[in-house]
Structure formats: C-alpha cells, structure tokens
Structure 1
Amino acid sequence: MKIPPKGKTPLSLAIIIIAVIALMSATFTEDLRVLTGTSTFKAKAAAAASSSSSTSTSTSTSVERDVSSRETSEAVVDEEDKIEFKRKKCSTTKGKWVFNSSKEMPYTDESCPYLDKQLVCQRNGRPDDKYLYWEWELDDCTLPRFNVENVLQKLRGKRLMFVGDSLQRAQWQSFVCLIQAHIPPKRKLIKRNEANCWFKAKDYNATIEFYWTPFIVESNTDKYIVPDPNKRILRVDSISAHAQSWVGVDILVFSTYTWWMSVESIKCSWHSFVNGEEGYDELDRRIAYRLGIKTWANWIDSFINPNTTRVFFATMSPSHTRSLDWGREDGIQCYNETMPVARRGFSGSGTDMEMMQAVTDVVERMKVPVTVLNVTQLTNHRIDAHVSVYTQLDGKVLSDEQKKNPHRYADCIHWCLPGVPDIWNQLLYAYL
C-alpha cells in the first residue's frame, strides 16, 4: 500500500471530511431556525436589511419604516410553511404584528357613515396613520382575510349580536363598516341609539346588532349611566332583564371587562335596587366578576340551544394608561405612541390575568360550547392605536389646548376606527 506523503490527505478522505462539515453546518443552521423561529431566508433578508440600514443616514422614522418593511418581507416567506386556519389547531394568541405599507383599507372614517365621532381619529386631527397598516400574523397558521361575500352568505337569514359596553359597540361598528360598502344603499337599513343598534342587509335577511349592558349582569347604570363608579350597584346574580333580548339570536358575541376595573371593590345587591345605598355588600372586583360570569354561564346553559345558536366570549380589551409598562419613563399613558410594543408576550397593568382566568375556568365547566375569542394578547401590544387626544368631548373635537393636556384628556381605553377592532372581527370571521 502506497503511503501518502507526510502532510497530505487522500482525496477520498478529504471529500468525506468536507461533506461532514457541510452537513454539520446545515444541521446547526436548521437548529437555530427551530429555536429562534427564523429561517435561513429570513436571516439573509435581515442581514441585507441590516447592511442597508447601517449605511443609511435616515431619521428614526425611516428606521422604523425599514424595520416594518423587513418584517413584512419575512411574513411572505413564513406563509409558505403555515397551515390553513383550523379552529382546534391554531392559536390566535401566538403571533406578531407585521407592518404592511401596501395594505388596502377596507373602509375609512370618511367612507363609513356609522362610526362614533369619538373614534374617527384621522378626522379628529391625528397626524400619523401608521397604526392603520399593522396586521396580526399568526406563528403557525394563516389567518384568513375578512371576506365580505362569504360573511354575508354565512349570515343569510340570521341575527348576529354583540353584547357588552362601548368597546363592543366599536366592534359592532367595525363589523358593519367592513360589510356595508358592498351593499347597495337601498338594500340596507340601520337603526341606532345609545343602548341598542341594528344593521340589516335586506337581500340576505341578515342583521348585525349591538346590545348595551356594560356588566352583562344587571346594574343600576344600565339605562342611565351613573358617572361615579362608587355609586354603581350590580346584581351579580341576576341577568334575565337583559337576557330576554338575546333569545332567538343565532350568533352571540359577549364581552365585559373595562367597567369592572373602575374600582377595587364593587357594590353588589342580592335583591333589587330599591334599597339603594342600604341594600348591598362590597366585594372585591375579581370575586364579583367571577360571580357575574357564573350567572351569565348558568343562563347560557339553561336557555341556549347549541344546535341553533353559537356563543362567543371575547376576552378583555386592555387599556394602556401606564407608560412604564412598556419602558417609557417620560411617557404620558398612550399619548404620542406611534408603534406597537414589539416584545413577544407583552402584557401591561391594563390586563388583569386573574379575571381572564375566571372566564376560562367558567367556560370550561359549561354544557353549552362557548368559543373564547382571545383578543387580549394581540391587543396588549397596540399602545399606538388608542384614540388618545384625537377624540371628541361634548360633540366637539378637542381644542389645541386640551390636546396639550393628555394627562386629563387622553383616552387610552377606546380604539381608533378603522383600527384594532377590525382585527377582532377578522378573528371572529375565522371562527364563523
């Protein structure tokens, strides 16, 4: 056998070594992809974008746009590996907000005449519009686009009702605005007041309704709002006065949270409101909330036929009144925020996880199946999408002086429309 000269490696052995190294490199790259959720294509795209950014002298706004553009291009690659949305296999809470500068607006605050004036941020003077171009992208599944014709076919001959407070009314308005432009003027009707609203698509015999009840259970602030939270009294064991309006509805979407957060303890009456200040107990709001959700669940189990009615419960819509939650020490609530919080799994002080768990615990024990529409996690990130100071008070747009006082006037509970509630309805559509 011929011994190769010292320091030389046989050609066949060299080929084997090179192949092993290449295989190890590929395996390592794929392991990193699995651990970080980043494909090799994404890594190249990110590197290219990073290189471009490092040679640029653009402003911070341009940097934000570059980041957003990069995220959008990554999303296109990700879609190839995702499965079609399936209710039992896809999580709507695991995802990220992706900026899409080419997103087409399904409606505007000028094109839809049914929006509350307090929510039309662009018309109320908001100078930026980036908040309109963010899309919620699921990690493992493709979230279907809101298809108007498909929605109307699913609602043919049916009643869809949103039940809750002003945030639910905003979701109702969003839903109506998403479909109304596709219906000829003479083929649609609308009736609205502060408490109950309905929109009808005549050709489909379909109605989309809103029913006002901020606590779901009965309270002394149902008909005439009691401004002082400390004077509100709830009947956490009674719901029938409201529930009689839900009988016969084909699709019910419930939500209640924000009004419970006004005080630490809630006055609860076990009989009627006749006794006023004398006939109540004070309960921790979390205990009262759980009792109220149980009362709602008992009514659903007793009076709803799951063969004819579908029931949804939308989880809490978080407020953003503490800028320290997202690390802005000099911030004033949600005022002047123009970008979502990018941190995965972000949750601030406006989200009470114990109350969230109460919904889960109660729903799991119900006989009638209830679909929990989890909008909380995706909404947690959207510190940029509240109406803030671009709203109205007593029928008038805030003055320049009022806008300079966000401590008093910034609304970090309600959402601009178009905006976040459109995504809630995209999730609802995915489950319909």
Structure 2
Amino acid sequence: MVTFNSFKDQTLFLTKKFLPWTLYILLPFALLRLFFSPLPFLPPPDSNLPHASLLTIPSLSPPPPPPPSSSSDFTAEEAGAKQASISPCDYFNGKWFRDRRGPLYNDTTCSTIKHGRNCIAHGRPDLSYLYWRWKPTQCNLPMFDPQAFLQLLINKHLAFVGDSMARNQLESLLCLLSSASTPNLVFQNGEDSKFRRWIFPSHNLTLSIYWSPFLVKGIEKSSEQNYNKLYLDIVDERWASELGQMDLVVLSIGHWFLLPAVYYEFDSVLGCHYCPGMNHTEIGFYEVLRKAFRTALNNIIERKSAKGEAIDVTVTTFSPSHFEGEWDKAGACPKTKPYRKGEKELEGMDSDMRKVEIEEVEAAKEKAKNYKYEGFRLEALDVTKLALMRPDGHPGPYMNPFPFANGGHNQERVQNDCVHWCLPGPIDTWNEIFLEMVKKWRI
C-alpha cells in the first residue's frame, strides 16, 4: 500500500529529475519568442532628456514630463510616407513636432553658454520648448552628430562673421560639439570678447567669431553719436583681412540695420535711416543690406579666387524677433508653444530681409561663375520661416537670473529678449541643417 509519505517522496523524486529537462526545453522557446516579439521599452520616469539628471533647475520647478502624443506629433509611418525621392532635400519647409528626446546638452554640460542665453539656469519654469524638433516636409533632418561634424572639418578653420545672431549660432555649435570633444579658448579680444577663437585639439578644428554687424566698414553708435555710420563700398577688414586663414565662413547679419544710421558710398553720403534733422535723404535699409552683402561676398570671391584658394560660404538668413509690443516699452514674448504650420505667415520686414539675402546669394554664385572660380561654394541657410514659427524659444525675461524672484510679477518692469535664442533651444536646428550642408559639400 502506497502511503501518503511514499507518494510524496516519489513526486519529489520525479520533480527533481524532470524539472531541469523541462526548463532546458522551454527556455529556448521563450528566448525565441522574446527575440521575435520584444517587450516594449519603458524608459525610466526621469529620462525625458539624455542628461536630465544634470539640469540645473530650481527645486520648485521640476522639468515637465514629455508632451503627450497627439495628432500633430511626427510618426515613423509619416516619415516613411513623406520620404520622397527628391534630391536635394528642402530642409527649410516643414513643421515643428513634439519629441521626447530633448537636446544633446544643457546648462551644466556646456560651459560656453552666454549669460543671457542660459534660460534653464536663470529659472525658466516651462521647459516644453526643449521638446520640439523640426521636420522638413520632404525628408528627415537627422539629429546633430558631433563626431561627424568634427571629422568632416578636421584641420579646418570655420569662422562666424556678423552680429550677435552669428555669435548665438556659434555658441550653439560649440555646445553641440562639446558633447563629444572639449574646446580650448585660445584667443579673445574686444568689448564683451567680440573676437574669440577656440580649437578642438582632438581634430585640430578652429572655430572663430568675428564681430561685424554690417560686414562692411562701420562706426557703431555711441554716447557721443546716436547713429551708426556705414561705408557700403568698403569691406570690414577686421574679418576680411584674415580670409586667407578661413576654410568655411558663416555670415549672419540683419538686426543692426534697423537702427538709425547714415550711409556712405564712394566718399559721399548716400542717405540715411531715421535721421531727422540731419538733412539727408531717408532711404530705409533694405537696399543698404543688399549693398553690404554684395560688398562682402564680392570681396570673398575676388580675394580667394586671386590666390586660387577654395572656400565654403553660408549665409544664415534673417531670424525674426517675436516681441508682442515694442521692444523698448515692455514688449515681451510670452508664448510657450510653436506656431502650427500655416498659423503664422512670413510677411512684411521678415520676408523682405530674407528676400534680399536670398537674391544676393544667387547673384554671388553667378559672379563666381564669371570669374571661373570653381573653389567657391555658397548656400543660404534659410532659417527665416522655421525661426518665425518658434515664438517660445527666446530667453524673454530669463535673459537675467530669476527675474520674478521675491514675489515680483510686474512684467512691465522686466526687460525681455525676444531676438536671441535660449541655449539649448531652436537655434540648435540651424546647426543640424548646417551639418547636412557640410556633408553635401564634402561628398
């Protein structure tokens, strides 16, 4: 008679004998099932940014969760449907879509962010502006690859020439590249270090910024002189004299032409912009901007072609401001989301400034052909439309640290910056497109 205990002993014996073999048989099937039908990846709760744990954010204002998906979000299916066989891609028409990945850097991982652009460190509470990416209509715009950029420009000198928007773009590029390699500041000069140079020793890449808000010779306004003087037929030698050292140049100007100025050409007064009581003809600034670009681009072509030296030139088009109200009378940029496609049209001054720049780029290409100068490559980095759609990307009141500290909420007493861009921020997209242009040039 089999007792309960003997039955139990036999069961334990069979279990110990056959259970391992059962596991050995089932385990491969489980692995195959996992391989062909992987479990969905669930990111940790705080993984919204690649370096989210490093963000310097006030404890009372934690970073918001990534925006929920919506019909306006970009999907892989949409990418496949719209990836047309159109070459080259038009990177300048598209829309902004929500993206969980966030930027490559932040205020602690990049040490070169200018004080007035450091929106995170200055306590900006809404960080949703970090979670948008640009999607061209015809293709995909890859995220910035710092290693690829460094490798493409190994042993090269890239110079940014222009006003504070040129500096804004350069500082964005420095931060993007710093995520892969550390730059050394090797030169600085001028008020507010307007002339600076860095070297990335890992690739012997030199990056420089040349302050030249008109590209041509200019005497800037001062306490003794409340208007600018521009000499439209004379290039600014502060940058042009060093063209021989440059392999790539990015030109970016525009906003300084809106200020009062007197214009000279061939030793005579051509006219002025907003100069009441000076007995000069008011001629505005559009044709003046055209002449300045023409003088600058012609000088590049003439000097480089005379020496048989190659150079790549990019013109970053006008970047619109987003003041609601007058900039010097409590004008602000309070919006926290991009405009949807079609919600904001490019028109007025923004459109006219861009039009002049695009036309001068095309004219310079023709001039280079007449010179039979094959070492000159020129493209417009046409950011005007995509910049227009990002009213949320400016420092606004956070150009200064914690502007509403101590309970202060009087917007009328707080100065706003609605011209420049937060770092990180939308201007990083300028350099993502710039990298694609450099890739095309290096093929």
TM range (shorter): 0.7 to 0.9
For residues 112 and 350 of structure 1, the distance between their equivalents in structure 2, rounded to whole angstroms, comes to 37
Deviations 1:400-427 (A, max 9, x none): 4876235761111111110011000001
Deviations 1:147-185 (A, max 9, x none): 11111111101001111111111111110111113225x
Matched, 1:215 2:214: yes
User: What is aligned with 2:251?
Assistant: 254
TM-score normalized by the length of structure 1: 0.72
Pair 1:386 & 2:382 matched: no
Q: In structure 1, how many angstroms separate the alpha carbons of the residues matched to 2:247 and 2:353? A: 27
**Which amino acid in structure 1 is aligned with residue 151 of structure 2?**
Q
Q: Give how far 1:297 is off.
A: 2.3
CA 246–205 in structure 1, closer or farther in 2 if over 3 Å, else same: same
1:419 aligns with 2:401: no
Structure 2 letter corresponding to 1:319: S
Cα shift at 1:124: 0.8
CA contact (8 A) 2:95 2:341 kept: no
Which secondary structure does the structure 2 equivalent of 1:390 belong to? helix
The 5-angstrom pairing of residues 14-413 of structure 1 reads 65-66=67-68, 69-72=70-73, 74-83=74-83, 89-101=88-100, 103-183=101-181, 188-193=184-189, 194-221=193-220, 226=222, 230-242=226-238, 243-263=240-260, 266-270=261-265, 282-305=282-305, 308-322=310-324, 333-344=331-342, 346-347=344-345, 351-366=349-364, 367-368=367-368, 369-392=377-400, 398=403, 400=405, 404-406=410-412, 409-413=415-419
Aligned partner of residue 361 in structure 1, secondary structure? helix
- Distance apart, 1:337 and its partner CA: 1.1
Report deviation, 1:229. Answer: 8.8
Change (3 A) 1:343 1:334: farther
Contact 2:293 2:357 in 1 (8 A): yes
Change in CA separation of 1:381 and 1:228 when aligned onto 2, cut-off 3 Å: farther
Q: Which whole-Å CA distance do the structure 1 matches of 2:85 and 2:223 have between them?
A: 43
Q: Which amino acid aligns with 2:425?
A: G
Secondary structure of 1:337's aligned partner:
coil
Secondary structure of the equivalent of 2:237?
A: helix
Q: What's the CA shift string for 1:216-268, capped at 9, x where partnerless?
A: 111112xxx637995211111111423113333011010111111234xx311
Aligned AA for 2:96?
W
Aligned Cα root-mean-square deviation (Å): 3.3
Unaligned runs of at least 5 residues, structure 2: 1-63, 269-274, 369-376, 439-443
- Cα distance change on mapping 1:376 and 1:406 into 2, 3 Å: farther
8 Å contact from structure 2 (residues 397, 415) kept in 1:
yes
Task: Give the greater-gyration-radius structure (CA).
Answer: 2
CA distance 1:160–1:180, shift in 2 (3 Å) = same
CA distance in 2, matches of 1:304, 1:345: 44
Letter matched to residue 220 of structure 1? I
Q: Is the 8 A contact 2:397 2:414 kept in 1?
A: no
Asked whether the 8 Å contact 2:102–2:130 carries over to 1, the reply is no
Alpha-carbon offset, residue 282 of structure 1: 4.8
Between the aligned partners of 1:85 and 1:402, the Cα distance in structure 2 is: 55
